[in-house]
Amino acid sequence: MDGTPTPSRTPLRVGLIGYGLAGSVFHAPLLATTEGLALDTVVTASPERQRQAVAEHPGVRTVERAEALFERAGALDLVVIASPNRTHVPLARAALAAGLPVVVDKPLAATAAEAEELAALAERRGLLLSAFQNRRWDNDFRTVRQLLADGALGEVRRFESRFERWRPTPKGGWRESGDPAELGGLLYDLGSHVVDQALVLFGPAAAVYAEADVRRPGAEADDDTFIALTHASGVRSHLWVSATAPQLGPRFRVLGSTAGYVKYGLDPQEAALREGRRPGDGPWGVEPESVWGRLGAGESPLSGGGEPVPTLPGDYPAYYAAIAEALRTGGEPPVTARESAAMLRVLEAARISAAEARTVRLGDGEGEAATARG
């Protein structure tokens, strides 16, 4: 495919690289249920995962190597990369070189420089390049965006976001590897989500402070990390990601000049996908009133203070619907590579900050120097 907008008559054919957690639980079900997209080929070297892909998506073809996908690039309209983090850049580069638009599971790259390089390559080739930042379509995040758009909190001064879990025993695998090439640890995993959300809400970060710890016996990579951002807008974001939290804090606490919003619990879409449900199987992304967040001032939400705010439905399907629209019209994807580069610049600064116990200011060359230091 050469980047020319595709006529709307036929479904866009998608090749999916990787059929582990990301590929099988998140991408494949969303691709298979998005109008105008058709899951054509799955790349996995595992015979077991090949059988799983065919059982879950009858008619899909499987191949062992990504090269086999690129060799038939003319038969495809999009490649989705859901393989381990270390493979994201080389596979994205190869897909773009083959003339294929690309979606890459977060993080797009290890560094902002690599993300910018891929963005430039995609622009030269006239091809779509996007990172899968599905948490922009979480139910609670969509609700926070709506509250800000409505001015319900006045001038926001502090944004607190927690993505915490209780996993006292490491599961192993590349996601928890201490090898820097693997990009394991929570900073680049859940940190990619909470930083991206903060930047979407409040704009560029001017300063970054972080603390990253390895808490669990046998763990190799950060599993308890805190990131503080000072946005150019003046808002302060305090972000926590942890696998070591025996008591979970609020998912969001947003404090403004006239009111605050507090929300507990996680968006239900991941749990639904893990259970094998798909968009279209009844109401999607909807949560009960008992876990709605509360909006108010001077009262504790835990004691019933404030007014309950109906949580907007979560909408992961909107991401791939927007990708399909962008491919057909030649418009921008829902998450751009340049946005991913900005997020990665913050993660690089956080890594420096945690290692050197200091605040890193962006815009003075430190963000660009992170790759060399790290």
For the stretch 222-280, pLDDT in tens is 899 999 999 999 999 999 999 999 999 999 999 999 999 999 999 999 999 999 999 98
> Cβ contacts of residue 364 below 8 Å, gap of 6+?
none
CATH number of the structural domain spanning residue 159? 3.30.360.10
pLDDT of residue 369: 44
Question: Do residues 99 and 145 both lie within one domain?
Answer: no
pLDDT of residue 373: 35
Question: Do residues 129 and 145 both lie within one domain?
Answer: no
**CA-CA distance, 129 to 127, in Å (whole number)?**
6
Q: How confident is the model at residue 3 (pLDDT cuts 50, 70, 90)?
A: low
CATH number of the structural domain spanning residue 52? 3.40.50.720
pLDDT of residue 66: 97
| Distance of alpha carbon 176 from the chain centroid | 17
For the stretch 124-175, pLDDT in tens is 999 999 999 999 999 999 999 999 999 999 999 999 999 999 999 988 887 8
Question: Do residues 172 and 304 both lie within one domain?
Answer: yes
Question: Do residues 24 and 129 both lie within one domain?
Answer: yes
**CA-CA distance, 202 to 254, in Å (whole number)?**
12
C-alpha torsion sign, points 81, 198, 163, 261: negative
Question: Do residues 156 and 236 both lie within one domain?
Answer: yes
Going by the DSSP 8-state scheme, the letter that residue 282 receives in this structure is B
Q: What angle do CA 367, 182, 252 make, to 5 degrees?
A: 60
Question: Do residues 297 and 149 both lie within one domain?
Answer: yes
Tokens describing residue 67: 């090269």
Residue 343 included in any domain = no
Tokens describing residue 47: 């015979």
- What are the E-state strand segments in 202-280? 205-213, 224-231, 236-242, 252-256, 260-263
Q: Could you give the percent of the chain with pLDDT greater than 90? A: 85
For the stretch 67-81, pLDDT in tens is 999 999 999 999 999
Its domain, for residue 258, covers 139-266+280-315
Question: Do residues 94 and 243 both lie within one domain?
Answer: no
Question: Do residues 92 and 175 both lie within one domain?
Answer: no
Whole-model pTM?
Answer: 0.92
Question: Do residues 63 and 100 both lie within one domain?
Answer: yes
In the chain, how many domains are there?
A: 2
Question: Do residues 181 and 247 both lie within one domain?
Answer: yes
Residue 68 included in any domain = yes
Question: Do residues 130 and 180 both lie within one domain?
Answer: no
In this model, does residue 34 exceed pLDDT 60? yes
Question: Do residues 290 and 261 both lie within one domain?
Answer: yes
Mean of the pLDDT values across residues 286-312? 91
Going by the DSSP 8-state scheme, the letter that residue 308 receives in this structure is E
Q: How confident is the model at residue 177 (pLDDT cuts 50, 70, 90)?
A: confident
Residue 201 included in any domain = yes
Kindly calculate the radius of gyration of the chain based on its CA atoms and give it in whole angstroms. Answer: 21
C-beta separation of 292 from 123 below 8 A = no
pLDDT of residue 342: 98
